[in-house]
Amino acid sequence: MHTIELISPVAESWSLPQTSFSVVPATQAGTLDDVDLNRRTQEAHRHLMRSRAYRGKTVIVCWEHEHIADAKLEAEYPGERVTWRQLLELDRLPDGMGELVPTTWPDDNYDYFWIVTFDAKGRPKTFESKLQAFTAPWNDVPQNPWGEPEQ
């Protein structure tokens, strides 16, 4: 639900639709299974990359942060792409830009956009990390600097 809570103000303020790739918790404790999250992350990536509806458009992907970038999770599933960082091959961006892409999303950050632009063939060509800054009525969304604890 956190991803939907976070993206809803953006979608509403920009009058954009939302597409959800949700995962129902596997246990009564509400924990999510990494295997299910891996599968849904891969499905969302396939949908994004194959759909003609997104070509030439700006797309915002709001996701569970460990499945955006997490070196530990990636190591747990060798030979399988389980994060957006891997799926989009952000570490392979041209001109050394791939070195700017963090390998792990910090636990205390929920308030950044990773902006990836694509070339004419649909391959990522640039990367930018940008802090979200919302005004009322969403100004209670955290805005802590990258890697620093939420205030």
pLDDT single digits (tens) 4-31: 777 888 788 889 888 888 777 666 655 5
What is d(CA 83, CA 37) in angstroms, rounded to the nearest whole number? Answer: 10
**Quick check: pTM over 0.95?**
no
SS3 124: strand
3-state SS, 18-51, equals CCCCCCCCCCCCCCCCHHHHHHHHHHHHHHHHHC
pLDDT single digits (tens) 88-138: 999 999 889 899 999 999 988 877 888 888 887 888 888 999 888 778 887
Per-residue tokens: 67: 């499945």
Average pLDDT over residues 58-78: 90
Average pLDDT over residues 53-81: 88
The pLDDT value recorded for residue 29 is 55
What is d(CA 80, CA 130) in angstroms, rounded to the nearest whole number? Answer: 28
